[in-house]
Chain A
Amino acid sequence: MSEPILPPIGMLAELTHRCPLQCPYCSNPLELLKANRELDTQTWLDLFSQAADLGVLQVHLSGGEPTLRRDLEQLIAGCSARGVYTNLITAGVGIAEGRIDAFAEAGLNHLQLSFQGARPATTDRVGNHQGSHEKKLKTARRARAAGLPLTINAPIHRHNIKEVQEFIDLALSLGAERLEIANVQYAGWALANRDLLMPDRAAVDRQADIVAAAQEQLAGIMNIDLVTPDYFAIYPKPCMGGWARDAFMVAPDGTVLPCHAAQTIPSLRFERFGDRSLAEIWIDSPAFNAFRGTKWMREPCRSCERREIDWGGCRCQALAIVGDAAATDPACIKSTAHGRMAALVDKTRRSNTAGDDAFMYRRMRS
């Protein structure tokens, strides 16, 4: 290969698929893994150690709900001992008293807390968990008391897009350093619930104005990052910074993946940590090399001046909408399928008469 394989910088560790919430846009796969499929403590520690050797500088501890792992303190300490920057991505519901202090003591660098709504009723309804908003507020306060830097993550869709200004106020009142206004990516459970979640263009435009004004007004006070909605975009996002380019994720059972939804691509076979070392998977795995760099690209990507900006966008979105994982992401205006994105937005607008209770909530099959 003429393009060198660079070492990865970031790793997203999905420690578990278990979660007290049931958000209908969860990025986990529809087929959730039960606790008995999760890697044990020592295997995660070995994996983090190999990741550090390979060049990983940041580990994002996620799930499901990562705090359901009773060994989370040990896992944080293991990363910390290797000089890896740790970020805990939590729903902030049901964390026992004293544990956040223990995470901080173990060396946690940063905590990211999700809010499904800026209003308690929205949070409780979207996550399908009564009282969750109040619990999240308590988690935020505990994180601050433990001296942990805080990001508030707000996944945005039709049912809370009108609360964007309130999310900003909420994050400010909690003393967060950072707020992510993250428009839902339509993969996993979000794809299954797309018709119920898709916002309309007027709301998307309003959101962009509110965020732009707040970003200017809050310079030096709070960072606001906007994850833009692909279905209203002109150009695609560099999904994961490019397929297998500087980040990867690991599922609870140790399957190493280039992105959340990669397993939806039926032509690819993914390998598990333990069967092979992390370095072997990163460098040699056919699935990682399938869409790495620019060699796999066809037109219009191949000769596009943006090919090393967006790396062709999202492979899973190309598969979901165009039916071909090697196609240009249809979020791109140069894609022949770009019109389908707007058509899908239109279709959801026309067909959407159902109430919230029609969500297919994220649940494990029993």
Chain B
Amino acid sequence: MTALRERAIVSLRSAPSLPRHVRIQYDPVRRAFAVLSPEKVFWPNEISLDILRRCDGQSTVERIIADLVADYDADRQDVADDVIAFLQEWSDKLLVKL
């Protein structure tokens, strides 16, 4: 097979971003944030939304984790596990670019 890209693996130095075919949008009809992708619409929960909004191509995963630890006053290891698992899952579905 002649794949033009490889699977990306999350690291603390990755700077995730949303690919062109994915966008976050506030939906005034349902009063909720939606993630729009080619065939699917996702309704992320608060923490997922907080991660996705920080996927700006500038912030590293390490920085995103630190921000969320501060915002949620949560255990760093728990947040790190959640963030890394979430980003890997979304990257594997090509919804986040690492």
Contacts and interface: CB of A to CB of B under 8 A. Distances in A.
Contacts of B30: 7, 55
A221 B5 contact: yes
Interface of B: 1-8, 19-21, 23, 25, 27, 29-30, 34, 36, 38-39, 41, 91-94
A87 B38 contact: yes
A168 interface: yes
B36 A177 contact: no
Contact of A112 (B20, B27, B38, B94): B38
B92 A57 contact: no
Interface of A: 7, 9-10, 53-55, 57-58, 83, 85, 87, 109-110, 112, 147-149, 151, 168-169, 172-173, 175, 177-178, 218-223, 225
Contact of A173 (B4, B21, B29): B4
A173 B39 contact: no
B21 A177 contact: yes
A219 B4 CA distance: 13
Contact of A220 (B4, B8, B27): B8
Contacts of A218: 3
B7 A219 contact: yes
Nearest to B93: A223
A55 B34 CA distance: 12
A223 B96 CA distance: 13
Given A168-B1, A177-B94, A221 B23 contact: no
Nearest to B36: A85
A175 B4 contact: yes
Given A177-B21, A178-B94, A222 B38 contact: no
Nearest to A52: B29
Contact of A223 (B34, B36, B94): B94
Nearest to B91: A220
Given A7-B29, A177-B94, 8 more contacts: A55-B27, A57-B36, A109-B20, A149-B19, A169-B2, A173-B4, A220-B94, A223-B93
A177 B39 CA distance: 12
14 contacts: A7-B30, A9-B41, A55-B27, A57-B25, A83-B25, A109-B21, A109-B38, A151-B39, A172-B2, A178-B38, A178-B39, A218-B3, A220-B91, A220-B92
A74 to B, nearest CB: 21
A172 B19 contact: no
A226 to B, nearest CB: 13
User: Which of A57, A168, A169 neighbours the largest number of chain B CB atoms within 10 Å of its CB?
Assistant: A57
A58 B19 contact: no
A9 B92 CA distance: 25
Contacts of A55: 27, 29-30
B91 to A, nearest CB: 6
A57 B20 contact: no
A151 B38 contact: yes
A149 B2 CA distance: 18
Contacts of B94: 177-178, 220, 222-223
